[in-house]
Structure 1
Amino acid sequence: MKNKTVDVIDFTEFETIAKKILINRKNHESWLNSIENGIKGERRTRKIIGNEFWILDRDVDINGGDLIIQRKNLKGDILSIDPLELGIIQVKFVQKVITPMEIDVKYLFEWDTTEDSLILLEGFFLLVHFDIEDKEAFYCLTSKEIKKMLENKVISSKKILRDNGDIKKLNVVIHVKKLQEYFGVESHNPQEAITKINEELKELDYTKSVSKRFFVGRRPSLETVQKEYEHEGYTQDLYKSIFNIQQEIYDILFQSADFVLYLKDLLRLHPSEVISVYEKDFAHIKLLGDLKERLNKIELKKLEEYFHTLKTQLDSFEDSRTISYVDGMVQCDSTIEVIISQYEELIKEGKYTVVQIWELIREHEVFESIQPNNPAIISQLADFKKRLYIMIKEELESDFMETAELE
């Protein structure tokens, strides 16, 4: 429920209220606890991992990331062709081991629309800090461990509902007490956490380099296309045409991904794993058979069909844009023709003076906002304005002459 806001009548009332609030002010506000706990947890995390990882700063806290880390390796810099993967660390500090901590599901999982399944987000780490008497303690959890504990009901989850009953959020709930029971130790040690994070990031580097899901990315959707080009003013047909093209490109990429990624994987292997020397000056590629098998799996005929469909989609996209543009110009031209005809009728009927009609034309946005494309309509519009100008001039001169004769 929202707090009610009421204006203070005058300064006397302001003084009275201020006295009551300031005299009864507490030494410590409850809202400070979460801020102080956050600072304390982040400070302890930096102390544990600061010497082993680069800690990167980001002004906006998204993806549940209090800290972004990267393994120290100049060859795998962020700007390099093959950069090392970053890790996201969410930090928690609790004063009691029974205090529940909640993690938003979107920091841990994603929904793969291609496979229609729940996908774990790797590279996410949770560092939970607490105290055992006067001793600092913590647990370091990977997203894999959190998922496993969730499946085994070591930890739980809860849904947060809106007033109308719709689900607003889904959170994973963790207690330090449960972690102590699960791991069988009161706390992890710093080296254990460093090793765990290092191994996870190394595995993620490899996984992303050879993973089909990471290689092909998300499958295109009509909603995504509409959102991306919403400011372009495209018609629904154009949105669908763009979506069809993206879908065909995605199918080509997906169809050839296995073979391309296998080639990429071969580059990482030691020569002894690829080649066996049988005789002097003779080498046999052990993995050649596997390579050919993967090439056959691509189904070149199917790939050719995808390319043919893509060409058709590109052709239809170009045609639809051209037709849409021409239709729009024809509509503009026909609109101007109708307006000119209407104004000429008004002049013939004599219902308005020429000056009044000129004012109506100036108010009519079509002459300001729409430029006809048809040369004949351009000429017709220019001729109409010219005739109207002559008529106004003649009427004004006539009015002047009548006034002069009366004088």
Structure 2
Amino acid sequence: MGAAIKIPLIGWGIRMNSIWLKSMQNGVLGEARAKSFLVERFWVLERSVDVQGADLLIQRKLTARNFLDYSPPPVGVVQAKFIQDGKTNISIPRSYVQDRNGDAYDEFFLLVFTGFEDNERMFFLTAADVKQHFDEAVDKEKLLFRIRGRDLLSLADKEVQSKRRSLNEIEHALSNADFRRNRRFLGNSGHLTVDRSNIDVAYTVPFANWYGNIIEAFYEQKSNAKGVLDDLERCGDALRAMISATDPIEAMHTYEKELHEFIDGRGYLAFSMDKVWNEDLYDSARAHTRHLDRLSEMGIRSGYEALMTAFDHAIQDYANKPPSASVVSTHITVTYNPRDLGKAEVEILEEDRLCAGAPSPNQWARIVESKAGRQIICYDEGRIHAAPAGYAPAITPEIYILPFQRALDTVIFGEESDLY
């Protein structure tokens, strides 16, 4: 009989207990940091069990609507992960991320945290991001999306540089989910609404372009399309009324009252589409997305969006205040991490003189300094307040954004972007 094999059960038990405790600690850390991040913007809902991968369920703070409503606002599903280092793998069941057709759920979000105290880092991914960056895997017949920790930590473009920007993206996704649900209902009932917020989140990045405000232009285009649709429905209702009529006089009265204004010289129903098709908007939107794609390829899109958001908010606060009577120029210094464009700081000072520097192409600003990590721009307030209608800075701060953005893009790309 061979020698007995001794198994160190006590040591094994301690090791397994340590692994379990570490896993529990990581779970608590991830959920606590996620809740702290989300709670200022959303209702964070408690759950008793893991609902389709949800560590947290969130809802927009719409006080006029709640769960007792017939159609309550949609709930977002947030899974939080904490990883100690790049050796930790992350796995998510595929059913949490996509539907049976393989389409990503717009209401699913992944937050990944790492580091402690002053070295804390956070990564934010949508379901579409998970599909793009994670590998598909099978574990004990479970279909998963999986990524190595070091690969996720290398996704610089997904690291949160601006909490405000990431919260805006989550809120925008939930708003659009609400819109789509309402659109399905209203579309079936013959009614549609137009809302400025119903636009892909990529177009909410606050940067300037040669055309103008894409969000406003898209809203106007859809409003014009809605006007044409209303006319079509009016004509449809009139034709149905004529078909249902039993009196030819009544039928012709309907024709004269409801249809006559839409009849052209050849007797055809005619609807003007001039204000529906907007080629400039189309070209501008394509330039906008190309710009973001280039930044994504360089791994700095998240930092760029955070930088432009920080600049936009600083300018919004400044531009909506009445200028001092003696101000001649506005001196703006923007500093940031030149590697990832993070940790942006914007300093705005009013001056009684113009700084020396190279005039920007639009002539209302001077580039005092422009290098990786810092831009200094001096704005000529006399020229700004004499700007053409539509560029009033209290309404559209693009007049301040444009010179800074052109200088920034030239540093980043080595050439001026095709946005201008």
Q: TM-score, normalised by structure 2?
A: 0.43
Structure of greater Rg: 1
Q: Relative CO higher for 1 or 2, CA cutoff 8 Å, sep ≥ 6?
A: 2
